[in-house]
Amino acid sequence: MADPLRSFLRDLFRTAVDAAHPATSLPALLPAPPRGRIIVLAAGKAAGSMAEVAEDFYLDRQKLPAERLCGVAVARHGYGRPTRIIDMIEAGHPVPDAAGLAAAMTALDLADGADTDDLVLVLMSGGASANWIAPASGISFADKQAVTRALLRSGAHIGEINTLRKHLSRIKGGRLARHAFPAQLVTIAISDVPGDDPSAIGSGPTVPDPTTLADARAIVAKYKLDLPDTVTRALNDPANESPKPGDAAFQSSTFALSARPIDSLLAAEKKVRDAGYDCISLGPDVEGEAREVALAHAKLARDLRAQGKRAVILSGGELTVTMRGQGRGGPNQEYALALVEALAGMTNVAALAGDTDGTDGGGGLATDPAGALVDGTSAARAKALGLDPAAFLGDNNSTEFFARMGDLLEPGPTYTNVNDFRAIAIDNP
């Protein structure tokens, strides 16, 4: 559906994504070459693009001999990039697969081989938790997959999911740092988590872990998760506690952020103001059940209209969906679906919700939609097509609803990830 407001929102989405792309944000943070080798270990949805930028920086700008650069990058299927030296692997997300297991083992082996003259350069982005899969002793690969599926269906937020992951892994929760020690360790990350907590990005493989086994057990109890016996035993084994601040593994380690959700929101906010709108930014850390947050944002939109405001509501963060039905869709599409009736009848209003990585829920394919667009006519158009938004919402079937409406947001892989981006534009009535 062609509409100036929708086009403006699509431009805002692209602005937010471009602000977080490694080509824009990474080069200034890359460290000088060491005496020895640079071992690049990259994981997450931006791993391929981050590895590409690192290769360009060291091989082309720094003229580093090719034999002094090596490494492995792992990204979700469809997010690989044509790297020259660094091995590129595509793996499962959000449910890990055997390729992720192989990538993690390779990363651990490369880290184990680093010495004091080498630099281990870890390039992290959202999705690394699923792409680097190295089960703790006594836990099978199938067990880890079962845990991931149970968590995804539970409604647990990403911090809780990662707390459990960190205590069932040989690479997460600071453990990769132990393998890299005593080499110099530099981690540069693109944040996709509320608060930009380093220990939460990719489950913090190179930083101290503030969470504990007791925290992980409490999450299992909170969501009444039915987990394999091997996982229950692992969560009661003190040997699976993660390294804490003061551990020797972190003595030669530094951490920096190359892009944050707030950076994308600020870029979008500038574009909003330049276009003559008031900007109501709710910040980069909005959390909650997608449909409930949508209703709150719709009320704000109606209040702004009542005040005669010409404004755009921006928000980031990661919403959750508690699965009640059998449909397909992610939190951005569910948020948008809840807006269909909440914004019904409003003139000159439109909304976009999309994941900055280019995919939102779905079947784990790179071609899955990133989100959806809605406006004040969506409810009436749905009715004309014989579609009941409430019924689709009850079945968590937002993808099918918006596919039939022709309103899916489908940018394809963006090769970065700073979490969700949402915008509601209210123009003159």
Residue 314 to residues 163, 262, 277, Cα–Cα distance (Å)? 29, 11, 12
Segments forming the whole domain that contains residue 419: 4-15+262-426
- 364 and 303 Cβ atoms separated by less than 8 Å: no
pLDDT at 130 over 90: no
Question: Quick check: 270 pLDDT over 80?
Answer: yes
User: How far apart, in whole angstroms, are the C-alpha atoms of residue 264 and residue 421?
Assistant: 9
- Does the structure show a pLDDT above 60 at 2? no
User: Which among 84, 178, 189, 58 has a CA at the least distance from the CA of 128?
Assistant: 189
383/399 same-domain check? yes
| 106 and 188 inside one domain | yes
In the chain, the percentage of residues whose pLDDT exceeds 70 is 99
Q: CA–CA distance from 172 to each of 28, 117, 164, 215 (Å)? A: 27, 24, 10, 16
Residue 426 has phi, psi (to 5 degrees) of: -120, 110
At 421, is the secondary structure helix, strand, or coil?
A: strand
pLDDT of residue 182: 95
| pLDDT tens per residue, range 194-221 | 889 999 899 999 999 999 999 999 999 9
Is the dihedral angle over the CA atoms 163, 189, 139, 147 positive or is it negative?
Answer: positive
Same domain for 250 and 292?
no
DSSP type of residue 248: G
Q: Taking residues 16-26, report their average pLDDT.
A: 96
* Same domain? 303 vs 417: yes
Predicted confidence (pLDDT) per residue in 355-376, tens digit? 999 999 767 788 899 999 999 9
Kindly state whether residue 69 falls inside one of the protein's structural domains: yes
Within-domain flag for 130:
yes
In a domain, 153, yes or no: no
pLDDT of residue 112: 98
Residue 92 within any structural domain of the chain: yes
Torsion angles phi and psi, residue 128, rounded to 5: -65, -30
Q: What is the pLDDT of residue 246?
A: 92
Give the alpha-carbon dihedral of 224, 227, 233, 234, to 10 degrees.
Answer: -100
H/E stretch holding 89 reads: strand 87-91
Q: What is the CATH number of the domain that holds 125?
A: 3.40.50.10180
Do 253 and 321 fall into the same domain?
A: no
How far apart are alpha carbons 392 and 340 in whole angstroms? 11
CA angle 349/355/359 to nearest 5° reads 120
Q: Mapping DSSP to helix (H, G, I), strand (E, B) and coil, where does residue 401 land?
A: helix
> Against a cut of 0.85, is the pTM above it?
yes
Same domain as 296, residue 181: no
Q: What is the largest CA-CA distance in the chain?
A: 68
**What is the average pLDDT across 150-161?**
84
277: confidence class by pLDDT, cuts 50, 70, 90: very high
The answer to the question of residue 251 being in a domain is yes
Give the angle subtended at the CA of 108 by the CAs of 104 and 111, to the nearest 5°.
140
Within this chain, do residues 61 and 178 fall inside the same structural domain, yes or no?
Answer: yes
| 3 state DSSP class of 295 | helix
Averaged pLDDT score across all residues of the chain: 94
Residues 177 and 268 in one domain: no
Interval 328-338 mean pLDDT: 96
Residue 219 resides in a domain: no
Residue 227: inside a domain: no
Least confident of 91-105, 276-290, 384-398: 91-105
Smallest Cα–Cα separation from 290: which of 256, 254, 315, 253? Answer: 315
Whether residue 334 is found in the same domain as residue 203 = no
Residues 44 and 174 in one domain: yes
Is residue 145 scored above 60 in pLDDT?
A: yes
Share of the chain above pLDDT 90, in %: 86
Q: What is the DSSP letter of 92?
A: -
Asked if residue 149 is part of any domain, the answer here is no
CATH of the domain at 313: 3.40.1480.10
- Residues 49-103: tens digit of each pLDDT: 999 999 999 999 999 999 999 999 999 999 999 999 999 999 998 888 999 999 9
Would you state the pLDDT for residue 1?
45
Q: Are residues 174 and 275 in the same domain?
A: no
Q: Are 252 and 340 found together in one domain? A: no
pLDDT given for residue 158 in this prediction: 76
Domain count along the chain: 2
Q: Which comes out higher in pLDDT, residue 38 or 428?
A: 38
DSSP calls for 172-238: TTTHHHHHHTTSEEEEEEE--SGGG-TTTGGG-TTS-----HHHHHHHHHHTT----HHHHHHTT-G
